[in-house]
Amino acid sequence: MKYQLEVSYDHDTESPNDYGAFNVISFNSRHVSFVHPDDIDESTILAPLSYYEHGLCKWMVGESTVADPYGGFDTVDFAGVIVYNEANGGDRSWFTDMGPKEQRHILDGVAAEYTAWCNGECFYYTLNEIHGCESCGQVEFKHVDSCGGYIGSDGFSDYINSEVLFGIDPADVTVVGEAEYAVTLKPVQVSV
């Protein structure tokens, strides 16, 4: 059986701030996540954020780690904060009881996910079986699965390989679409 995996941008993906336990707050009034610093409950602040933008953007926990070739012109070292949203995350003791390394890992992930969303790295896939008529050469597609709302190409590609294409030989899959770059097919792992 042959398959076609169509990968597209999902322009309707919700902001991670709409549903997550953590919210990225920007101090820039031109950003969708802007909140004036005076309006933030300081008890909810978990980490300061720095911001870099030159074409695409990058949010980072703490000071900027981007080597800015423009001498800092495109970088702000205190551009916002990550706050805890109890309405979505409940009691935050699950987070505060972690060690600093685990907390930092989660906060770096929050910043990376928000960065990917801001940069439009949001994806939708459709998996179809390809059926061809031997006598007339017509190709028909039979829908197998589709879903959207995925943020970030790394996690999306891993999900496609481990879940969507589980049990399917990557050699039998053709990836197409405006965002096909977001999926790198991996060989099937066979355990012995």
Give yes or no for a contact between 26 and 51, defined as CB atoms under 8 angstroms apart: yes
Q: What is the pLDDT of residue 180?
A: 95
The tens digit of pLDDT for each residue in 93-112 reads 999 999 999 999 999 999 99
Same domain? For 37 and 108 the reply is yes
Same domain? For 79 and 21 the reply is yes
> pLDDT band at 169, cuts 50/70/90?
very high
Residue 46 clears pLDDT 70, i.e. is over it? yes
Tokens 């061809």 -> residue: 132
Please count the CA atoms within 13 angstroms of the CA of 3 that sit on its side-chain side: 23
The tens digit of pLDDT for each residue in 54-106 reads 889 999 999 776 666 666 678 888 999 999 999 988 899 999 999 999 999 99
Cα–Cα distance for residue pair 61/69, rounded to 1 Å: 20
Residue 175 clears pLDDT 70, i.e. is over it? yes
Nearest residue to 60 (alpha-carbon basis) of 121, 107, 122: 107
Last residue of one domain, picked from the residues 85, 118, 151:
118
Q: Which domain covers residue 133, as residue numbers?
A: 2-12+121-182
Q: What is the pLDDT of residue 63?
A: 79
Predicted model pTM: 0.87
> pLDDT band at 191, cuts 50/70/90?
low
Q: What is the pLDDT of residue 68?
A: 62
Last residue of one domain, picked from the residues 118, 135, 153:
118
- Strand bridging mode 2-9 / 173-176: parallel
Q: What is the pLDDT of residue 136?
A: 82
The tens digit of pLDDT for each residue in 98-150 reads 999 999 999 999 999 999 999 999 999 999 999 987 788 788 999 999 999 99
* Count of structural domains, the chain: 2
Q: Is 190 contained in some domain?
A: no
Residue 7 clears pLDDT 90, i.e. is over it? yes
Tokens 């990836």 -> residue: 175
Same domain? For 27 and 97 the reply is yes
Q: What is the pLDDT of residue 192?
A: 59
